[in-house]
Amino acid sequence: MKKIINIILILFGLLTYSQNQKYFEVVYDIYYNTDVPQIKKGKLQIDIANNHSIFHIGKAKDVHDGSLVTTSEDGFNYNIQYADIDRFIEMDFKSSKIYSKEIHKGKVYFVKDSILNLNWNLNYDDEKKIGSLNCKKATAYFRGRNYTAWYTLEIPLPYGPYKFHGLPGLIVSISDSSNTFTWTIASYKPLANKPNFQYIKKPESIISAKKYFSEIRYPSFSEQESIIQSKLPKGIKLISATSDAHIRKGIEIKFEWEEKMKEQ
């Protein structure tokens, strides 16, 4: 019953808000507390009437010159600024599709994914203020990680950073349970003009999310050994190899197609 009420609130809020405002923009600070900690910027642009959004990461226009990497060596701390290749995640909620530009090991891939229904738990009384916005707590699981989100009913738009969506209000802050990945709102404003969507219209240049994550981003250990063998001089055979490369460290680490294979 509460899930039905939640859907009604989202639709009502979206309809009411779209009558007054067609386009909206939110800038997020992104923190990756990974092996090499990074601070990035993300710009979420929303076409409310058409239920369409695009999230630029890194080198989004008028947002950031690149990314900041903080590292340490011999007792010294270093802040290194470097240029990013612009990435985007475009979500078309009418077709339930995601089109994204991904960068892996210096190569660019255009990936087609599906918008998943995130089963948000709203049964929390927790509230807090982030900036000037009053926020409520929600939690959900998404592809291998558990997330805590803070959303605001003051902006009744069911959008958020990265691939997060579906709450009764805009996601103001969200992080996984290990605090490895965090997105926090930096600014928000109405837009006068429609966002510049970058939907990739050449089917031959698009690969599926399953292919990207299974074969490129997270290849099996046997595939990694084959790659190493192919780079060795002729006549030299790889006997054994050890690596932690099989450990998945990205935002998305478990996938629905893998779960289906286990069930069969």
Report the predicted TM-score, pTM, of the whole model to 2 decimal places.
0.78
Does the residue 62 lie in any domain?
Answer: yes
Q: Indicate whether 169 and 82 sit together in one domain.
A: yes
Rounded to whole angstroms, the Cα distance separating 225 from 153 reads 51
Q: Given this model, what pLDDT does residue 91 score?
A: 97
Average pLDDT, the chain: 81
Does the residue 254 lie in any domain?
Answer: yes
Q: pLDDT tens digit string along 178-232?
A: 999 999 999 999 999 999 888 777 667 899 999 999 999 998 744 444 444 455 5
Provide the domain count of the chain: 2
The predicted model gives 44-55 an average pLDDT of: 95
Give the end of a domain, one of 172, 191, 210. Answer: 191
- Give residue 242's domain range: 218-263
Q: Indicate whether 63 and 130 sit together in one domain.
A: yes
> What separation in angstroms does the CA of 124 have from each of 121, 135, 163?
8, 11, 22
Which residue type occupies 92? D
Query: CA end-to-end span of the chain, whole Å?
Result: 32
Q: Indicate whether 54 and 179 sit together in one domain.
A: yes
Give the end of a domain, one of 140, 174, 191. Answer: 191
Q: Indicate whether 150 and 24 sit together in one domain.
A: yes
Q: Indicate whether 119 and 247 sit together in one domain.
A: no
Does the residue 200 lie in any domain?
Answer: no
Q: Indicate whether 124 and 176 sit together in one domain.
A: yes
Q: Are 29 and 184 in contact (CB under 8 A)?
A: yes
In the structure encoding, which two tokens stand for residue 3, read together?
């899930």
The predicted model gives 115-128 an average pLDDT of: 97
Q: Indicate whether 102 and 229 sit together in one domain.
A: no
| pLDDT classification of 141: cutoffs 50, 70, 90 | very high
Q: Indicate whether 91 and 171 sit together in one domain.
A: yes
Does the residue 58 lie in any domain?
Answer: yes
Question: CB 81: neighbour CB atoms within 10 A?
Answer: 10
Q: Indicate whether 131 and 52 sit together in one domain.
A: yes
Q: Indicate whether 179 and 222 sit together in one domain.
A: no
CATH number at residue 22: 2.50.20
Q: Indicate whether 184 and 68 sit together in one domain.
A: yes
Does the residue 224 lie in any domain?
Answer: yes
Residue 149, beta-bridge partner list = 138, 174
Q: Given this model, what pLDDT does residue 264 score?
A: 57
Q: Given this model, what pLDDT does residue 169 score?
A: 97
Give the end of a domain, one of 191, 210, 245. Answer: 191
Does the residue 137 lie in any domain?
Answer: yes
- The dihedral through the CA atoms of 124, 96, 142, 58 has a sign that is negative
Q: pLDDT tens digit string along 66-100?
A: 444 444 444 444 444 434 447 899 999 999 999 99
The predicted model gives 118-133 an average pLDDT of: 96
